[in-house]
Amino acid sequence: MSEQFNPRAALAIGITVLCWASAFVSIRDAGRHLDPGPLTLGRAAIAAVVLLAVWAVRREGLPDRRSWPGILTAGVLWFGLYMVALNWGEQLVDAGTAALIVNIGPILIALLGGWLLKEGFPPRLFLGITISFAGVAVVSLSMSRDGASSVLGVLLCLVSAVTYAISVVVQKPTLRHCTSLQFTAFGNLIAAILCLPFAPLLFSQLEAAPASATLHVVYLGLFPTALAFLTWGYALRHTTAGKLGATTYVVPAIVVGMSWLLLGEIPTWLTLAGGALALLGVAISRSRKKQAGAGPTPPVEATDAAAPAVKP
């Protein structure tokens, strides 16, 4: 079944990738003053407080009991373990190696989605993913400095990729029984509770750090976490997990542009070529095969009558 173009879902995807791309720039600076655990706690706690306040105002009530296994899984793996492992891993390996390993995630999402969610294995999707991954590999090669890497850092980035993929595949069916707001708010609450042992270190490091570190934590909690995960959940209702995962290959290209504009890091021609290749792959993965004589196709979400409406 093909998908109809949904402008709201497209806008949601755009907001997500822009916020997630900006997170890499923000984490790069905040990581100079905060350890991975405290940074994850600050980010998750701010997102949880804001989203739970919105949840209370909207009076959505508690998530359906059928959604709690998925929310718990995402809270532990995605909002918790993924964030800590990624923050830690990026301190031990160069940016190119980290980007290459973490971007195994969309490939795993497409494979797990095709198998567990019965999304199938569309040739265009996997062609696009292959091209995008090649582009990320080129960007990673251009970003690598001396080729040195830490075994622990590589393993941590691999943990990030695997936990990210599992969480997205779990999130798709979970959203049939809860809203994106409920999923994101309670997932971050679970992560914040699990990271509470880092609270003393968070406060001591923020006290010793410049004000910019605190601003980065607030920004990461509000936008790349609270807003971006809300819009991600909305978009996931309107497309397959595999296709949505493939769109995250846009992130490295946006990071290159942001680093150029905001940090003065001038990319090489090899970096620009890799970014263009990644964008081409995303375009292919999101394209739809035209069927001559076919009538209008109902949107994907029309088949999910049990899913409550979401307004991110």
pLDDT tens by residue, 29-57:
888 899 999 999 999 999 999 999 999 99
Residue 101 included in any domain: yes
pLDDT at 2 > cutoff 80:
no
Q: How far is CA 51 from CA 45, 48, 56, 225, 281, in A?
A: 10, 5, 9, 10, 34
Instruction: Provide the residue range defining the domain that includes 67.
Output: 7-288
Residue 308 included in any domain: no
pLDDT at 265 > cutoff 70:
no
Residue 235 included in any domain: yes
Dihedral sign of CA atoms 239, 164, 253, 128 in order: negative
Higher pLDDT, 273 or 215: 215
Number of structural domains (the chain) is 1
So what's the pLDDT on residue 292? Answer: 46
Residue 300 included in any domain: no
Separation between Cα atoms, residue 245 and residue 6, nearest integer Å? 17
pLDDT at 298 > cutoff 50:
no
Separation between Cα atoms, residue 174 and residue 285, nearest integer Å? 24
Closest of 222, 295, 299 to residue 8, by C-alpha: 299
Residue 251 included in any domain: yes
So what's the pLDDT on residue 94? Answer: 65
No. of helices (H) and no. of strands (E), the chain: 15, 0
Mean pLDDT over 10-27 rounds to 87
Separation between Cα atoms, residue 230 and residue 79, nearest integer Å? 13
pLDDT at 297 > cutoff 60:
no
So what's the pLDDT on residue 110? Answer: 86
Q: Residues in the chain, how many?
A: 312
CA dihedral 54, 60, 66, 70 (to 10 degrees): -10
Closest of 143, 146, 147 to residue 273, by C-alpha: 143
So what's the pLDDT on residue 238? Answer: 84
Angle at which helices 199-208 and 211-220 cross, to 10°: 130
Residue 145 included in any domain: yes
So what's the pLDDT on residue 96? Answer: 61
So what's the pLDDT on residue 95? Answer: 61
Mean pLDDT over 181-209 rounds to 97
**Per mean pLDDT, which range of 72-76, 96-100, 223-227, 294-298 is the poorest?**
294-298
So what's the pLDDT on residue 97? Answer: 66
pLDDT at 144 > cutoff 80:
no
Closest of 16, 81, 15 to residue 44, by C-alpha: 81
Residue 237 included in any domain: yes
Question: Residues 79, 254: contact at Cβ < 8 Å?
Answer: no
Separation between Cα atoms, residue 305 and residue 191, nearest integer Å? 30
Residue 149 included in any domain: yes
> CB within 8 A of 172, min separation 6: which ones?
113, 117, 236, 241
Token pair for 84: 């800590």
> CB within 8 A of 103, min separation 6: which ones?
133, 136, 161, 248, 249, 252
pLDDT tens by residue, 230-243:
999 999 988 888 88
Closest of 4, 1, 19, 5 to residue 232, by C-alpha: 19
Separation between Cα atoms, residue 299 and residue 6, nearest integer Å? 8
| Mean pLDDT, the chain, integer | 83
Q: How far is CA 117 from CA 96, 234, 261, in A?
A: 31, 18, 40
Largest pairwise CA distance in the chain: 66
Token pair 């397959």 is found at 240
